[in-house]
Chains A and B, each alone.
Chain A
Amino acid sequence: MAKGKITPEFKIIRDMEKCVSCQVCHRVCSNDAHLYDPDAGEVTSEDSRCVGCHFCETLCPTGALTIRRNPSEIKLNALWSGRALEDITRQSSTGGVLLTGMGNDRPFPVYFDHLLLNASQVTNPSIDPLREPMELRTYLGGKPDRLEIKEGQKPEEVLKSFLSSQISLETPILFSAMSYGSISLNAVKSLAKAAREAGTLWNTGEGGLHPDLYPFGPHLVVQVASGRFGVHQEYLEAGAAIEIKIGQGAKPGIGGHLPGEKVTEQISRTRMIPEGTDALSPAPHHDIYSIEDLKQLIFALKEAVRYRKPVGVKIAAVHNVAPIASGIVRAGADFVVIDGLRGGTGAAPRVIRDHVGIPIELAISVVDQRLREEGQRNRASLIAAGGFRNSADVVKAVALGADAVYVGTAALVALGCHVCQKCYTGKCNWGIATQDPYLTKRLNPEIGARRLVNLLRAWSLEIKEMLGGMGINALESLRGNREQLRAVGLAETDMKILGVKPAGEAW
């Protein structure tokens, strides 16, 4: 119908000199964007179905395929962009909420790109990480201000009990919460294997824990989200830490959503819900309507695991993130996860993803500052999440005050994701955001784990180089050390909130 026609977003350019009609593209595209005409012996393309995932382009043996953005033919208009028109056209046809996947793609400022790092020269020697020790080890968990031994306690017991309440990481990068359901079991296995090998942690997300994955428990953070999917005693015991999910950066204020198409038999069993039904997590936990309820849940979980595991809380970065985080620490959380504006998701209403929340750089700065002002920064570790693209982003986040960093999108990109944002359809060609057995086969967990370990290793080496350049040889000396950052091109209020001086200013 002419009224509702949407211009295709992408154009498939096939170089006919190079195309040998081997049909690989036709066989692999889950959206049927390539078609084989047996009479002509040729492969043709249906542009409107292409989502821009680049799977065919990657596999094509002659490099005959190029995926181009289809230039919009509408009259140039700074306000009424092609996307604005398209959204209205779609909604007039469907009457529904527009869904999307992955993180905010709008051009809000990326503060990391305005922050620069220091290097030591002359007065302070930089350190060469290939010749001198460079330590990235981090301990997550609440810490006392000093060693206190009460009456009747033995020092060794106090120390042992403290150390067992901490999680030790060899690198400050962890894998963010991505549920089994939003991503395939093979993707989850890749994360689990890589976390074990690299000495870091992965996170169940809202999806519960598949039986095959219990052996990876020592490197796991189990999440208790509002839907309480898959939460039972063994689940809580299985992980190294428990994370109560109050919100996430991609959709602050609303709950998780797994479309019914993705709820297969295995998902149904792992999450403990009926097959084929939408898995909707409610927005608030139905037993948490205020901070005192949260305190109750934190301690209920601590009791359930006999205080042997740290219990933390994950929130989205919103306007009042500083007092919220402060309240959470007072409520007894051992770590607080803050997920910023750019956090990813498997499915969310696009309008929420793009317009709700604040950037992680600002959130970390204000939370870290507020906790220090209140004298309780040691009581909980801070983990930052939401759009970390490279090791420099990680270093800057630590300098602003984070103890560690969660990466989600970056991990998926390592597995092949091209951020086409169609996760909610369940047709991910890379075998990541799908439960379709034709597609999940494509993600070999051995290869996936290998690539993730490589990514972590590469970033860790880069972090060591940057630390050495700053004359620092232990990560704890960078945490909250805003002296090592300078800002370029930021307004005074931004710099004040970040607590960073402008570039050019010395001590």
Chain B
Amino acid sequence: MKKIFIREEYCMNCRLCEVHCIVQNSKTRNIIKAYKGEYPKPVSRVLVEEKGYLSFALQCRHCEDAPCLEACITGAMHRDPESGAVLADEEKCVGCWMCIMVCPFGVISRHGEGKRVISKCNLCQGEEIPVCVKNCPNEAIVFEEAS
């Protein structure tokens, strides 16, 4: 399956990945309306970790043996057979936050004000390549076949 791979030597900590993730998951998908008009503003599902001059964008790794899949009590967390991505069904999520607690990468978060469900990277289902990868100005994250 195709996954997002990190090349931390090229990340410049601009966080454009976070910006575009927010826009992609907004209602209007328009950056100005998403930031200024929408309420609630969606939370970015990718976060840039930084220490000194080292930085890189981190999102759900869509692990082969994902702890969140095991932990989910309702089965909202499931694996999409085609893309191999781990997806969360918002209808079924009851907001128990177990997945957030077990995720070793800490890449699952609460949805933001208003909805008691989780939010995490879904590899931009429906797009050719995830928007964080597409918009990274320095190709610090790439979308490739996992070997």
List A residues at the B interface (Cβ < 8 Å). 17-18, 20-24, 27-28, 58-59, 61-62, 431, 436-438, 441-444, 446-447
Tell me whether B10 and A441 are in contact (CB under 8 A). yes
* B117 nearest CB across to chain A (Å): 25
Mask, B1-45, CB within 8 Å of A = 1, is 000000001111111100110000000000110011000000000
B74 at the interface (CB under 8 A from A): no
* A266 nearest CB across to chain B (Å): 14
Instruction: Name the contact of A61 in the complex, choosing from B9, B10, B16, B36 (C-beta under 8 A).
Output: B16
* A63 nearest CB across to chain B (Å): 10
Instruction: Name the contact of A446 in the complex, choosing from B13, B19, B31, B139 (C-beta under 8 A).
Output: B139
Tell me whether A20 and B35 are in contact (CB under 8 A). yes
Tell me whether A441 and B11 are in contact (CB under 8 A). yes
Q: How far is the CA of A438 from the CA of B54 in the complex (A)?
A: 8
Q: How far is the CA of A22 from the CA of B13 in the complex (A)?
A: 13
Residues of A within 8 A of B36 (CB): 20
Residues of B within 8 A of A20 (CB): 31-32, 35-36
Closest-by-CB residue of A relative to B138 is A444
Tell me whether B139 and A24 are in contact (CB under 8 A). no
Tell me whether B10 and A24 are in contact (CB under 8 A). no
Residues of B within 8 A of A437 (CB): 53
- Could you show 26 A-B contacts with beta carbons less than 8 Å apart? A18-B32, A20-B35, A22-B35, A24-B15, A24-B16, A24-B19, A27-B13, A27-B14, A27-B15, A28-B13, A58-B137, A59-B14, A59-B16, A61-B20, A61-B31, A431-B12, A437-B53, A438-B53, A441-B11, A441-B12, A442-B10, A444-B10, A444-B138, A444-B139, A444-B140, A446-B139
Among B10, B11, B12, B135, chain A packs the most CB atoms within 10 A around the CB of B12
Tell me whether B138 and A62 are in contact (CB under 8 A). no
Q: How far is the CA of A24 from the CA of B22 in the complex (A)?
A: 14
**Tally of contact residues, B, Cβ under 8 A:** 20
Q: How far is the CA of A438 from the CA of B138 in the complex (A)?
A: 13
Tell me whether A23 and B15 are in contact (CB under 8 A). yes
Tell me whether B19 and A21 are in contact (CB under 8 A). no
* B7 nearest CB across to chain A (Å): 8
Given A24-B16, A24-B19, 5 more A-B residue pairs with CB atoms under 8 Å apart are: A20-B35, A23-B15, A61-B135, A436-B53, A438-B12
Instruction: Name the contact of A62 in the complex, choosing from B9, B31, B53, B139 (C-beta under 8 A).
Output: B31
- For the complex of A and B, list the 3 residue pairs with the smallest distance between their C-beta atoms, beginning with the closest: A20-B35, A438-B53, A437-B53
Tell me whether A441 and B9 are in contact (CB under 8 A). yes
Q: How far is the CA of A215 from the CA of B32 in the complex (A)?
A: 48
Q: A444-B139, A447-B138 are in contact. Are A21 and B35 (CB under 8 A)?
A: yes
* B52 nearest CB across to chain A (Å): 8
Residues of A within 8 A of B32 (CB): 17-18, 20, 62
Residues of B within 8 A of A58 (CB): 137
Mask, B123-145, CB within 8 Å of A = 1, is 00000000000010111100000
Among A18, A24, A431, chain B packs the most CB atoms within 10 A around the CB of A24
Q: How far is the CA of A166 from the CA of B9 in the complex (A)?
A: 38
Q: How far is the CA of A438 from the CA of B8 in the complex (A)?
A: 12
Tell me whether B138 and A442 are in contact (CB under 8 A). yes
Tell me whether B14 and A24 are in contact (CB under 8 A). yes
* B138 nearest CB across to chain A (Å): 5
Q: How far is the CA of A443 from the CA of B20 in the complex (A)?
A: 21
Residues of A within 8 A of B139 (CB): 444, 446-447
* B114 nearest CB across to chain A (Å): 20
Residues of A within 8 A of B135 (CB): 61
Q: How far is the CA of A151 from the CA of B135 in the complex (A)?
A: 68
Closest-by-CB residue of A relative to B19 is A22
Residues of A within 8 A of B53 (CB): 436-438, 441
Among A17, A23, A431, A441, chain B packs the most CB atoms within 10 A around the CB of A441
Q: How far is the CA of A443 from the CA of B138 in the complex (A)?
A: 7
* B41 nearest CB across to chain A (Å): 10
Q: A22-B19, A61-B20, A447-B138 are in contact. Are A28 and B35 (CB under 8 A)?
A: no
Residues of B within 8 A of A18 (CB): 32
Q: How far is the CA of A21 from the CA of B34 in the complex (A)?
A: 12
Residues of B within 8 A of A23 (CB): 15
* B32 nearest CB across to chain A (Å): 6
Residues of B within 8 A of A438 (CB): 12-13, 53
* B13 nearest CB across to chain A (Å): 6
Q: How far is the CA of A73 from the CA of B11 in the complex (A)?
A: 41
Q: How far is the CA of A431 from the CA of B32 in the complex (A)?
A: 29
